[in-house]
Structure 1
Amino acid sequence: MVHIKSNALNKDIQIDRLIANIKGSKKGPILVFFAGIHGNETAGVFALTNTLKTMSPADLSGSIYAIAGNLKALSKNQRYLEKDLNRLWTQADLDALVSKEELISEEKEQFEIYNLLKAIQKAHSEPIYFIDFHTTSSKTLPFITINDALINRKFSQQFPVPVVLGIEEYLKGPLLSYINQLGYVSLGFESGQHDELDAVLNCEAFIYLSLVFTKALDKDSVKDFQMHYYRLKHQSKNISEIFEITYLYKIKPQEHFKMLEGFKSFQAISKGTHLAQSNAQAIFSGYNARIFMPLYQTQGAEGFFIIKSIHPIFMKISEFIRNFKLDSLLVFLPGISWENKKQGVLSVNLKVTRFLAKQIFHIFGFRSQQLSKTHMLLYNRERVAKKALYKNEMWFNK
């Protein structure tokens, strides 16, 4: 058990790894909420504590698990102590974790969470939804981040907030990417800026909407449902577009990086806008687009992202292509072959990518990962998605 404090609420609480586990009186979905994977992001922890402490099992269908992430970092209000817990979830890291004799602080946290996840998977055959709460160091609208699988798209589009695709291509080892590889619906919700009251309230609203949209709670049993819905709609400034990440400024080891003050996530920027300083050299935008998650904290390796909105017609085209598994046609092109067809992994000669835009692979459902100087692997989330598990859910057939 650890003691944590919320500056936004001016409140202290004590929590265990399992903040709450509520088993409903009726069969239904399994919702797994994570909060505090980064120790300076406490909004989700307090939101889960506030909303679930009065939740009646009699009103609930299914089960809720609320899991605290980096307990030691939460107790110190630090992003992490030795390594970023949200960058350790690769298969190689997990394989090494089981055989290591000595674990650093974040690996001990990861080992406990990993075993808890396996236990939840083993215990339930119902649809499982994984939701990870975060906040940002900059001012921001609330938004959802997802790995680009259709089950994630369909579920996320019920919420009145913007959705951002493609972050898994730029980050190595996020928790949700690991869960997505298991085939489950999984999304991240960034509720606002660290230590703001709105960030806690937005998380609370998101919890209630998640429970209603999964049919864990009946809409009529949530007396303030409309208030929660319109809170998120208002906080998002009525922006509910789908965006895609097109660029990441990655901070190098020993680099002295500093964002210029005043930038907010989703703020429109022009090509040539002065964004930051690197070792006293100016960094300018190379795009007419929007800035996303500019870094205003000392820990973290992602300086800022650039995002652009996706036209709805391309979303429709990609859905058609994926539903009919037309990704198989790509292997007829020179330099492209299946690395693992069952898991939807292609091996692509990098010479080919000079002639095929990255967006083409995205439409087919693939996201890339560099393998060597000559080849990269493309991962198709649709091939591993557990669509059969969710096919009877109301949101799936909309």
Structure 2
Amino acid sequence: MSVPSLSETKLARVIGDTGPGGDGPTVIAFGAIHGNEPAGVWALGKLFAELTARPRPLRGRMIGLVANTGACAAGRRFIERDLNRSWDAERIAALLASDPANDGPEDAEQRELLHVLTPLLAEADRPLVFLDLHSSSGAGGPFSCMADVLRNRPIAFGVPVPVILGLEEVIDGALIGYLSDMGHVGVAFEGGRHADASTVDNHLAILWLTMVNAGVIDAGQVPELEAHRARLNEATAGLPEVLEIRHRHVITPEDVFKMRPGFANFQPLPAGSEVADDVRGPVRTPEEGMMMLPLYQGQGDDGYFIARPVSRFWLRLSGRIRGDSIDRLLPALPGVHRDPEQPDHFLVDPRIARYRTTEVFHLFGYRRARPHGDLLTFSRRRPDVDRLSPLPDELRPLMPE
């Protein structure tokens, strides 16, 4: 059985909204930010249908949104541009300063999403919990991706699927990353393959477990909770608990990239494995690890990723040292100094920095590495703080006078 298509369907932006339910947290879930991934939309529809059929007391609020209604109705990842690559202050400010009459399809989608989200962000007195529901073109079990900040861990690790670190940091302009940088909780969940009916069921299980873990609803109000947990445990049996991204293979249309058949998420591969072809010939993995998100669809700018398991000891250690400001000692490492223009960034000279310097930066959550001339710039998502950031300047035009 496959996931029913939503092609040619007129979709409402808001799938459901329970409304405020006491003084508990708010969970906001997005489906179909990529329009060829309808499983999250179907799962949210099922969730709100179950909440309507059997009303139960809530301590918080649950909201479900279709992120890219037009692409979802067309059954395409996007119409003109990837909606999950344009969430940063500069591009949002430019969009809101422009004439809506000139909007392209994804411009209009992003503008409408901003109108929905801004009042929720402005009114928040605690971190909102954002879920981004995805599916993939390759086979393999469900997993989650989170920015490597401590506030994301209870939500990500509250769902029994592998957690991938570093994916949100290597992709620029992701919606969840933008929201995380304001101080909110943001976790993306991959439910399985696009067309598999089990992907809808996996997402439904993820939604119920997250509502309980976040405190929106008591576990006793969800009699199917252990069945949902068992479903995910079975779907991920034998997989590593935590992994980190080691390599991202970026592609362009000019590459004429074509993944070779038969690769799946979590498939172990030695270094030098031929996994795809492009105009230059065979594409080989630069290091050993596990295949993640092999591209078996027409649209997309990521050919594949390589990940490796992370030990629980390393994860526990990172959690203990994050709050101790030990990262102020990072400039003592060879070849490392603070960026004078951005004090929360570090400049690293790879010709001087010693082996495992990257691993030390990862320990402190600095997983965003970008070229800076002959150097590398390391930065991280906004770390845990006592209060949320004020509403960003780029969103203030959406607030009433």
TM above 0.5:
yes
- Secondary structure of the 2:346 match is strand
- Secondary structure of the 2:92 match is helix
| Structure 2 match to 1:367 | 367
Q: State yes or no: 1:15 paired with 2:11.
A: yes
For 1:336, the aligned partner's letter is H
Q: Is the 8 A contact 1:249 1:304 kept in 2?
A: yes
Q: Is the 8 A contact 1:265 1:294 kept in 2?
A: yes
- Secondary structure of the 2:372 match is coil
| Structure 2 match to 1:291 | 291
- Shift in Å at residue 223 of structure 1? 1.1
For residues 361 and 94 of structure 1, the distance between their equivalents in structure 2, rounded to whole angstroms, comes to 30
Cα-Cα RMSD = 2.3
For residues 108 and 125 of structure 1, the distance between their equivalents in structure 2, rounded to whole angstroms, comes to 29
How many corresponding residue pairs? 382
- Shift in Å at residue 35 of structure 1? 0.6
Q: Is the 8 A contact 1:25 1:58 kept in 2?
A: no
Which residue of 89, 96, 99 corresponds with 1:98?
96
Q: State yes or no: 1:108 paired with 2:108.
A: yes
For residues 18 and 386 of structure 1, the distance between their equivalents in structure 2, rounded to whole angstroms, comes to 31
Compared CA separation, residues 91 and 293, structure 1 to 2 (3 A)? same
Identity %: 29
- Shift in Å at residue 368 of structure 1? 2.6
Q: State yes or no: 1:38 paired with 2:39.
A: no
- Shift in Å at residue 124 of structure 1? 2.8
For residues 172 and 353 of structure 1, the distance between their equivalents in structure 2, rounded to whole angstroms, comes to 25
For 2:211, the aligned partner's letter is L
Q: Provide Cα deviations, 1:340-394, integer angstroms capped at 9, x if missing partner.
A: 778x3334455554666311211122123425314443223353x34568xxxxx
- Secondary structure of the 1:115 match is helix
Q: Provide Cα deviations, 1:27-57, integer angstroms capped at 9, x if missing partner.
A: 2110000111000000000110111123156
Q: Is the 8 A contact 1:365 1:382 kept in 2?
A: no
Q: State yes or no: 1:321 paired with 2:321.
A: yes
For 1:70, the aligned partner's letter is N
| Structure 2 match to 1:81 | 79
What TM-score does the superposition give when structure 2 sets the normalisation length? 0.88
- Shift in Å at residue 26 of structure 1? 2.5
For residues 289 and 196 of structure 1, the distance between their equivalents in structure 2, rounded to whole angstroms, comes to 26
| Structure 2 match to 1:163 | 163
Q: State yes or no: 1:27 paired with 2:23.
A: yes
Compared CA separation, residues 240 and 22, structure 1 to 2 (3 A)? farther
- 1 or 2, which has the higher strand percentage? 1
For residues 227 and 33 of structure 1, the distance between their equivalents in structure 2, rounded to whole angstroms, comes to 21
| Structure 2 portions without partners, runs of 5+ | 389-401
Q: Which has the higher contact order (CA 8 A, sep 6+)?
A: 2
Q: Is the 8 A contact 1:33 1:130 kept in 2?
A: yes
What TM-score does the superposition give when structure 1 sets the normalisation length? 0.89
| Structure 1 portions without partners, runs of 5+ | 1-5, 390-398
Q: Is the 8 A contact 2:59 2:217 kept in 1?
A: yes
- Secondary structure of the 2:134 match is strand
- Shift in Å at residue 58 of structure 1? 4.4
- Secondary structure of the 1:331 match is helix
Q: Provide Cα deviations, 1:39-95, integer angstroms capped at 9, x if missing partner.
A: 000000011011112315642111111111111101100000110000111222112
For residues 258 and 377 of structure 2, the distance between their equivalents in structure 1, rounded to whole angstroms, comes to 33
For residues 250 and 142 of structure 1, the distance between their equivalents in structure 2, rounded to whole angstroms, comes to 23
Alignment of 1:110-125 (within 5 A): 110-125=110-125
Q: State yes or no: 1:139 paired with 2:139.
A: yes
Q: Provide Cα deviations, 1:194-234, integer angstroms capped at 9, x if missing partner.
A: 02100100011111101111121111111111100010110
| Structure 1 match to 2:397 | none
Which residue of 57, 60, 66 corresponds with 2:58?
60
- Shift in Å at residue 238 of structure 1? 4.4
